[in-house]
Amino acid sequence: MKKEGSKVKEVLLFILMCILTVLWIYPVFMILVNSLKVESAITTSSVFSMPGPGQFAGLANYTEALNSQGFLSSLGYSTLITVTSVAAIILCCSMCAWYIIRVKSKFNNFLYYLFVFSMVVPFQMVMFTLSQTADLLKLNTPYNIWIIYLGFGAGLAVFMFAGFVKSIPVEIEEAALVDGCTPLQIFFKIVCPILKPTMVSVTILQAMWVWNDYLLPTLVLDITKYKTIPMLIQYFRGSYGRVAMGPMMASIMMTIIPIIIVYILGQKHIIKGVAAGAVKG
């Protein structure tokens, strides 16, 4: 009876997961379908249907999206911001977490809980002050906005790295110190390879956040000069203020496909890294 009950639970869980999968995939699928339609088919009641006769636009929407509105430059800005921000978060936060765990002091304990507390502070509480501060410190370009992202991403990253560092036997580092390694050599040659699962997890999570972020770049960057991909999609308009739905849908698809692929390829590392950072130690 227990085996039959467990099988029933497994079947129900499988059905539930299938339903959730369909609900997750359906919006993406509809964006893909509409990106292949002509403009009139998207703006009518057939928006949720497959392209009919005379409604299939092929790759025309994708070509128009690439050749208008500065899509390639926005793609470059988003890539630059994502790469620099994630690299800064990985390097600085891993070193910070290692120092906090290894050097026991009241100040370090306070600093750790300060990082944890920063995760629960709503962005809306600081966004207006942040905008003024960014203008004052000249952090309002794609080349140095990574400093702001480092501040907002440090809470989660330090929390995950600190949890994993606790599981690393300190004897390994002490042996390296006896052999003549400096603290920097110990970190980069001993600690970093061990931290790889958490580094991969943090990289994927932070990359998804920075790549898809709309609010922070809109508040900080000069939208007349710089537009990231999410900002470009918001301002994707045709003549006389008309929204070009076809090219907009194509832009959305070209934006979400790379990050979906990255997430699918790295989802097992996310689970391992989060579990290691939250449970170990």
129 C-beta neighbours (distance < 10 Å), count: 9
Are 203 and 53 spatial neighbours (Cβ–Cβ below 8 Å)? no
Q: Is residue 82 part of a domain?
A: yes
**261 and 188 in one domain?**
yes
pTM (two decimals): 0.82
Asked whether residue 33 falls in the same domain as residue 99, the answer is: no
Domain around 254: 68-279
- Total domains, the chain: 2
Question: Is 44 in the same domain as 133?
Answer: no
Model confidence at 278, pLDDT cuts 50, 70, 90, reads: very low
The 10s digit of each residue's pLDDT in 29-66 is: 888 888 888 877 777 756 677 777 777 777 888 888 88
Structure tokens at 145: 């906005």
Do 91 and 35 share a domain, yes or no? no
How far apart (Å, rounded) are the C-alpha atoms in residues 197 and 242?
47
